[in-house]
C-alpha cells in the first residue's frame, strides 16, 4: 500500500518537477474527475492573473485524490464524496472540506413511442433500481404521468460500472428515500447492484440506454445537457416534480445551507425546498488544515477566496451549478481555519 | 540463473587455448552477457509483479483467505469481496473467443500459407498484421455499435429459436453479454492466430509436401495430414498467445460484457471479467481493503493466466511428443 502511494507520488512529483521554474510557486492537486473542466478553467484564469503561480491538477479520481491527501503527496485534493471520519483521522495535517460547485444526476430513459418528459416519484426510482418495479406500466410510474401511454415491457436498468461520484450521488439519494436500499445496498462510489447492466462512464450508460429499448439509466446533468438527452423530472422532498437545471440544483444547496455542518461534509440529496432538485451534490476541495509553508498557505487561501467569489461566475457556462450565497459566506469564514 | 552465471565466470580462466580477450574479440562473451541480462530482466519483471501484487493485497488475503476464490459477492459497501463471478466471466469470454476465433484463424492461415497465390497471401498478411495493431478501444467501439445490436436483434433470437433448448442460449438478451464479449474478443485474436500460424505453416519444409504428394495424396490431404500436424506446436503456440490476449483484454470487454458480476450458464446474459472490474473500480476505490481486493484480483488473473499457460505448455509437449513417435 505504502509502496503504491510512493510510486504514484514519485511519478506525479517527477512530472510536476519538470514543469517547475525558479521563482514560481508550484501547487499540486489531484482528485475528482467530475469537476475537472471547471477546475482547469479556474486554475488557468487564476494563473493568468498571477503569472508566478502554477497550479497543477491531476484528475485521477476521487479515491486517488483522498489517498494522495492522506499520503501528503499533494498540496490539495479534490473529491466528489466527503472523506470518512476514519480517513480524516489518517491525515496528519488535518483536512478541511470546501464545496466548490454542484453536480447532479438525472434519470434518462429510452421507451419506444414515448417522447414525453416523465415524472418519477422517489418510490418509483428506488423500486426500479431495487428490481421491484419491473414493468414500465407499473402504477407507481403511470400515476404521476397521466396522458402518457407506457408499455407493459420489462424495464432494463442501467447503472455505472466504474466507481464514480455520479454513482455516489445517485445511491445516496436512494438511501435517503428508501429504507430498503439503505439496509440492502448502501452508498459508495460503486455498490453491489441488485439489478441492471453496467456501462462505463456517462457515455457508456447513455450509450446502453439509447441502444436498448425500455432502458433507464442515470447520467450527470452536464452530460445530459451537452448531449441533448431526454431526462425525467424527479419528485423532491416537498412532493414537487422538479426538472434538473442549474437553478434547481443551486436551490437544493441553499435548502441544505440552513443546517450546514461546520466542516461542510453534507449530503444535499433530497434537500428541503419546493424548487430544490433532489439528486444533487457538492464536490469538494480537500485542503490541509495546517500548511507550514507560508507562501503556499497564502496562495491557497487567496485562490479559495477568488474561487468562491469571482470564480463562481465561470461555473454556469460550463454547466456546473454555482454555490448559493449562504454557502459562499459560510465558506469564506471557514477559510480562516487554515493555519 | 545461477548456473548461467557460474558458466560465464568459469569460462574465463579454464580454456587454455583461447584467452578471455580473444573470446571477447569474437563477441561471444558480450553477446552472452547481453542476452543473459535481457532474459534475466524478463524474469525479474515477472517476479517483481508478483511481489508487488502480493505485498499490496495483505488485507483481503488475511480477511477472506481462500474463500476469496469462491466468493460470489462483490460489495464495496459492506466490504465483502469474492472473485468467482469475475474468474468465471474471464474464462467464459475467453473460451467463446477461442471457439470462434481458432477455426477462423487457422482456416485463414492455411489458405494464405498453402492455397493462395503468394502475392495475395503477402498482401492479406499485411492487412491482418495491421488489424493486430488496432487499439482495443476501437474494437470496443465496433462492439458497441455493431456487435451488440447484432447480438440483440439478430443473433440472440436466432440462437434461441434454433438452440434454445440448450441452457447456453436461454433467457432475455440485452445485447451486452458473454456472447458479445466473446465475439469481439474473437475478432481481436484472429489476427494473432493468422499471422503466427501462417508463418509457421510457411516454415514447413517443401520436402514434406512433395513427399505427401508423391505418395498420391491430394493437395488438401498433404496440407491437413502432413503440413498442419508438422506445424502443430507452432500453431498451438499462436492459439495460446491469442488466449493470453483474450484473458487480459480490458477495454473492449468492459464496453460490451454488461459489467454484472454474476454466474449464469446462458451466454446471452451479461457478465464481468477480472481485468474489466479492476479498470472500472480502481480509480475510485477509497477503502483500503477495497483497493487491495482489486489488487488481489490482479493476482488472481495472474494465477489464472499462469495455470492456463502451464496447461498449454503441457499440451504442446504432448502433441510434439506424439508427433515425434508417430
Q: Name which of A1-5, A301-305, B202-206 the model is least confident about.
A: A1-5
pLDDT at B91: 96
Bridge partners of residue A28, in order along the sequence: A56
The pLDDT of A212-235, averaged and rounded, is 92
pLDDT at B1: 38
Report yes or no: A130 at the B interface, CB cutoff 8 Å: no
Portion of chain A with pLDDT greater than 70, in percent: 94
At residue A339 the predicted structure's pLDDT band, cuts being 50, 70 and 90, is confident
Greatest mean pLDDT among A59-63, A72-76, B11-15 lies in A72-76
Distance CA B108, CA B114 (A): 10
The pLDDT of A273-288, averaged and rounded, is 94
Which chain A residues have a beta carbon less than 8 Å from that of B52?
A: 3-4
CB A260 within 8 A of CB A225: no
Report yes or no: A175 at the B interface, CB cutoff 8 Å: no
Which chain B residues have a beta carbon less than 8 Å from that of A30?
A: none
Query: Going by DSSP bridges, is the β-strand pair A280-288/A119-120 parallel, antiparallel, or unpaired?
Result: unpaired
**CA geometry: angle A288, A292, A293, nearest 5 deg:** 105
What ipTM was estimated for this complex? Answer: 0.80
pLDDT at B8: 43
Positive or negative: CA dihedral B161, B163, B165, B167: negative
Which chain B residues have a beta carbon less than 8 Å from that of A186?
A: 77-78
Which chain A residues have a beta carbon less than 8 Å from that of B75?
A: 191-192
User: How does DSSP assign A177-243, residue by residue?
Assistant: H-HHHHHHT--SSS---SS-EEESHHHHHHHHHHHSTTEEEEEEHHHHHHTT--B-EEE-TTS-EE-
**Whether pLDDT at A249 is above 50:** yes
Mutate to test the interface with A, among B286, B289, B297, B298 (most CBs of A within 10 A): B286
* CA of A9 vs chain B CAs: smallest distance (Å): 15
Partner residue opposite B56 with nearest CB, options A4, A84, A192: A4
Query: What 8-state DSSP symbol labels residue B159?
Result: H
Distance CA B32, CA B44 (A): 18
* CB-count burial class (<10 Å; 0-12, 13-18, 19+) for B48: exposed
Q: What 3-state DSSP class applies to B51? A: helix
Closest CA to B223 of B192, B238, B242, B202: B202
* CA of A295 vs chain B CAs: smallest distance (Å): 31
Side-chain-side CA neighbours of B102 within 13 Å: the count stands at 16
Between B162 and A61, residue with greater pLDDT: B162
pLDDT at A112: 93
Which chain B residues have a beta carbon less than 8 Å from that of A154?
A: 172
Of all residues in chain A, the one with the smallest CA distance to B286 is A63
Partner residue opposite A1 with nearest CB, options B260, B280, B288: B288
Q: Cβ contact (<8 Å) for B259 and A199?
A: yes
Q: Cβ contact (<8 Å) for B286 and A207?
A: no
Of all residues in chain A, the one with the smallest CA distance to B284 is A63
pLDDT at B285: 83
Report yes or no: A192 at the B interface, CB cutoff 8 Å: yes
pLDDT at A21: 47
Each residue's pLDDT tens digit, A112-150 = 999 889 999 999 999 999 999 999 999 999 999 999 999
Q: Cβ contact (<8 Å) for A163 and B285?
A: yes
Report yes or no: A273 at the B interface, CB cutoff 8 Å: no
CB A162 within 8 A of CB A200: yes
Q: Cβ contact (<8 Å) for B286 and A4?
A: no
* CA of B217 vs chain A CAs: smallest distance (Å): 53
At residue A285 the predicted structure's pLDDT band, cuts being 50, 70 and 90, is very high
CB B304 within 8 A of CB B90: yes
* CA of B76 vs chain A CAs: smallest distance (Å): 6
pLDDT at A184: 93
Q: Please write down the HEC assignment for all residues of A89-110.
A: HHCCCCEEEEEEEEEEEEEEEE
Report yes or no: A156 at the B interface, CB cutoff 8 Å: yes
Report yes or no: A32 at the B interface, CB cutoff 8 Å: no
Q: Name which of A93-107, A151-165, A215-229, B6-20 the model is least confident about.
A: B6-20
Q: Cβ contact (<8 Å) for A187 and B77?
A: yes
Distance CA B127, CA B116 (A): 15
**Whether pLDDT at A160 is above 50:** yes
Of all residues in chain B, the one with the smallest CA distance to A181 is B77
* CA of A274 vs chain B CAs: smallest distance (Å): 32
* CA of A208 vs chain B CAs: smallest distance (Å): 8
Partner residue opposite B75 with nearest CB, options A192, A211, A215: A192
Of all residues in chain B, the one with the smallest CA distance to A1 is B56
Each residue's pLDDT tens digit, A166-185 = 999 999 999 999 999 999 99
Q: Cβ contact (<8 Å) for A162 and B280?
A: yes
Predicted confidence pLDDT, tens digits, chain B (326 residues): 344 444 444 444 454 556 666 656 667 888 889 999 999 999 999 999 999 999 999 999 999 999 999 999 999 999 999 999 999 999 999 999 999 999 999 999 999 998 899 999 999 989 988 988 899 999 999 999 999 999 999 999 999 889 988 888 988 889 999 999 999 999 999 999 999 999 999 999 999 999 999 999 998 999 999 999 999 989 998 999 999 999 999 999 999 999 999 999 999 999 999 999 999 998 888 788 999 999 999 999 999 999 998 988 888 888 776 655 44
* CA of B247 vs chain A CAs: smallest distance (Å): 19
Q: Cβ contact (<8 Å) for B260 and A196?
A: yes
Q: Cβ contact (<8 Å) for A4 and B260?
A: no
Query: In chain A, which among 204-243 make CB contacts under 8 A with chain B?
Result: 204, 207-208, 211-212, 215
Query: What 8-state DSSP symbol labels residue B204?
Result: S
If one counts every other C-beta atom within 10 angstroms of the C-beta of residue B240, the result is 18
pLDDT at B228: 92
Which chain B residues have a beta carbon less than 8 Å from that of A175?
A: none
Distance CA B280, CA B254 (A): 8
Q: Cβ contact (<8 Å) for A81 and B282?
A: no
Of all residues in chain A, the one with the smallest CA distance to B285 is A63
**Whether pLDDT at A208 is above 60:** yes
Which chain A residues have a beta carbon less than 8 Å from that of B255?
A: 200, 204
Q: Cβ contact (<8 Å) for B254 and A200?
A: yes
* CA of B177 vs chain A CAs: smallest distance (Å): 10
Of all residues in chain B, the one with the smallest CA distance to A162 is B280
Q: Cβ contact (<8 Å) for A211 and B149?
A: yes
Q: How far apart are the first and last CA of chain B?
A: 35
At residue A5 the predicted structure's pLDDT band, cuts being 50, 70 and 90, is low
Q: Cβ contact (<8 Å) for B73 and A192?
A: yes
Distance CA A146, CA A178 (A): 24
Partner residue opposite B260 with nearest CB, options A81, A197, A207: A197
Size of interface A-B (CB pairs under 8 A): 104
pLDDT at B11: 45
Of all residues in chain A, the one with the smallest CA distance to B279 is A162
Amino acid at each position: 500500500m505504502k509502496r503504491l502511494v510512493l510510486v504514484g507520488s514519485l511519478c506525479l512529483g517527477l512530472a510536476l518537477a519538470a514543469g517547475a521554474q525558479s521563482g514560481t510557486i508550484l501547487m499540486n492537486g489531484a482528485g475528482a474527475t467530475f469537476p475537472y473542466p471547471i477546475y482547469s478553467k479556474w486554475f488557468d484564469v487564476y494563473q493568468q492573473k498571477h503569472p508566478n503561480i502554477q497550479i497543477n491538477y491531476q484528475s485521477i479520481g476521487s479515491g486517488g485524490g483522498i489517498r494522495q491527501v492522506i499520503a501528503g503527496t499533494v498540496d490539495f485534493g479534490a473529491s466528489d464524496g466527503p472523506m470518512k471520519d476514519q480517513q480524516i483521522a489518517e491525515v496528519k495535517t488535518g483536512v478541511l472540506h470546501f464545496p466548490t460547485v454542484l453536480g447532479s444526476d438525472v434519470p434518462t430513459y429510452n421507451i419506444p413511442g414515448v417522447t414525453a418528459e416523465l415524472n418519477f416519484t422517489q418510490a418509483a426510482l428506488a423500486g426500479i433500481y431495487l428490481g421491484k418495479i419491473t414493468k414500465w406500466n407499473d402504477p407507481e410510474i403511470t400515476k404521476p404521468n397521466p396522458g402518457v401511454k407506457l408499455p407493459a415491457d420489462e424495464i432494463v436498468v442501467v447503472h455505472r460500472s466504474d466507481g464514480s461520484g455520479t454513482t455516489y450521488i445517485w445511491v445516496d439519494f436512494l438511501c435517503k428515500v428508501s429504507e430498503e436500499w439503505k439496509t440492502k445496498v448502501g452508498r459508495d462510489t460503486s455498490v453491489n447492484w441488485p439489478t441492471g447492466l453496467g456501462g462505463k462512464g456517462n457515455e457508456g450508460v447513455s450509450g446502453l440506454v439509447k441502444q436498448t429499448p425500455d432502458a433507464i439509466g442515470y447520467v450527470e446533468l452536464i452530460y445530459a445537457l451537452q448531449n441533448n438527452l431526454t431526462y425525467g423530472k424527479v419528485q423532491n422532498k416537498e412532493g414537487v416534480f422538479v426538472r434538473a437545471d442549474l437553478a434547481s440544483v443551486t436551490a437544493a444547496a441553499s435548502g441544505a445551507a440552513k443546517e450546514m455542518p461546520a466542516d461542510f461534509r453534507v449530503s444535499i440529496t433530497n434537500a428541503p425546498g419546493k424548487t430544490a432538485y433532489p439528486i444533487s451534490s457538492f464536490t469538494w476541495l480537500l485542503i490541509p488544515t495546517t500548511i507550514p509553508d507560508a507562501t503556499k498557505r497564502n496562495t491557497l487561501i487567496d485562490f479559495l477566496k477568488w474561487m468562491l467569489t469571482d470564480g463562481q461566475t465561470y461555473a454556469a457556462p460550463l454547466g456546473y451549478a454555482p454555490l448559493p450565497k449562504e454557502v459562499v459566506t459560510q465558506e469564506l469564514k471557514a477559510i480562516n481555519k487554515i493555519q | 540463473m545461477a548456473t548461467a552465471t557460474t558458466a560465464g565466470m568459469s569460462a574465463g580462466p579454464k580454456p587454455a587455448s583461447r584467452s578471455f580477450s580473444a573470446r571477447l574479440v569474437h563477441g561471444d562473451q558480450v553477446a552472452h552477457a547481453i542476452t543473459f541480462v535481457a532474459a534475466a530482466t524478463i524474469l525479474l519483471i515477472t517476479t517483481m509483479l508478483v511481489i508487488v501484487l502480493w505485498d499490496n493485497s495483505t488485507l483481503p488475503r488475511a480477511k477472506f483467505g481462500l474463500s476469496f476464490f469462491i466468493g460470489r459477492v462483490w460489495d464495496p459497501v459492506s466490504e465483502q469481496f469474492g472473485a468467482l463471478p469475475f474468474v468465471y466471466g474471464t474464462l467464459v469470454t475467453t473460451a467463446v473467443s477461442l471457439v470462434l476465433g481458432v477455426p477462423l484463424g487457422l482456416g485463414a492461415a492455411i489458405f494464405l500459407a498453402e492455397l493462395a497465390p503468394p502475392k495475395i497471401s503477402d498482401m492479406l498478411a499485411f492487412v491482418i498484421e495491421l488489424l493486430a495493431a488496432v487499439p482495443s478501444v476501437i474494437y470496443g467501439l465496433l462492439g458497441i455499435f455493431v456487435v451488440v445490436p447484432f447480438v440483440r436483434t439478430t443473433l440472440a433470437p436466432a440462437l434461441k429459436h434454433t438452440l434454445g433448448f440448450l441452457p447456453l442460449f436461454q433467457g432475455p438478451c440485452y445485447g451486452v453479454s458473454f456472447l458479445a464479449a466473446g465475439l469481439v474478443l474473437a475478432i481481436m485474436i484472429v489476427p494473432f492466430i493468422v499471422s503466427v500460424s501462417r508463418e509457421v505453416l510457411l516454415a514447413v519444409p517443401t520436402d514434406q509436401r512433395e513427399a505427401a504428394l508423391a505418395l498420391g495424396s491430394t493437395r488438401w490431404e498433404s496440407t491437413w495430414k502432413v503440413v498442419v500436424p508438422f506445424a502443430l506446436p507452432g500453431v498451438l503456440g499462436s492459439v495460446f498467445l491469442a488466449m493470453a490476449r483474450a484473458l487480459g483484454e480490458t477495454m473492449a470487454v468492459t464496453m460490451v460484457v454488461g459489467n454484472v458480476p454474476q454466474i449464469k450458464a446462458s451466454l446471452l446474459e451479461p457478465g464481468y471479467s477480472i481485468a474489466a472490474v479492476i479498470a472500472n473500480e480502481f480509480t475510485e476505490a477509497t477503502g483500503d481493503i477495497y483497493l487491495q481486493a482489486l489488487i488481489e484480483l490482479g493476482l488472481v488473473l495472474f494465477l489464472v493466466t499462469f495455470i492456463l499457460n502451464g496447461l498449454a505448455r503441457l499440451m504442446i509437449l504432448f502433441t510434439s511428443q506424439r508427433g515425434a513417435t508417430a
